[in-house]
Structure 1
Amino acid sequence: MSSPAVPLILGLDHVQLEAPPGHEAQARAFYGEFLGLPELLKPLALRPNGGVWFALPDGRQLHTGVVSGFAPLLKGHPCLRCADLQSFLARAEAFGIEVQEDRQLAPLRRVYLHDPFGNRLEVVEGGHASELLT
């Protein structure tokens, strides 16, 4: 089957990570204070659901959503880009955030860490190179 003339998918709008009820203050401390992401105003209709929305510098968003039977995401994860991984590592140390460096894709520099709820996150310097299948 051939690809449509006009792309069906234009890009990624947001990523939502699950979190336990009452997590909002911790989310603001981690995603807002540590990662420096500005908080977005959630639509009025969704505010009773809990959770917090954050803006990424490229216009995309990162959301947290409440799950009553919450279990952290241990393998699947969002990957965030940074310009200077050394500065990120210094900030993580200043905030007491444990980070695990991964050298499997060297010279690409990337690390893994967990949010306060145990969800896995990847941070990569620059970005992952990719190549389309032909």
Structure 2
Amino acid sequence: MTVMVREPRAEDRDAFLAMWEDFVALAPSEPGNHAMGPLNWERIMGTEHALQCLLAADADDRPRAFVLFLAFPFTWSRGDVCYLQDIYVCPEARGRGMAQALIARVAEIGRARGWFKIFWMTQSDNFAAQRLYDKVAERKDYIRYDLNLRAP
């Protein structure tokens, strides 16, 4: 399968929303508003939000994967850090290098912009994702804490 990583276009909205629905269905117990797909689309297509998106498309230019990320100042570095917030690959496209291509493209962007690092989290039982992540990054031994301040 040929993988093309590109920025989203207006005509990708339906494909993104379908992937978002599949993505949130994978984590039904994750606290948050699972209906954020349309608002996230508006955020990534607008200019007033820091949230960015890349899509991985197949040879027919159909989006099959996405990554959502944002960069911000880091108190331990002169360079910004990037939080790779969400990454998803359609089931029929898994194992074909799309997630790795998305991460590689985010890294290219980060090098060009002078970021210090990219970081992300995954569920402890997401072994398929961890196999990839262990190849492209260094696993750290941090524990995540959430202090929810309001309803999502």
TM over 0.5, yes or no? no
TM-score by length of 1: 0.27
TM-score by length of 2: 0.25
Larger radius of gyration: 1
Structure with a larger share of its residues in strand = 1
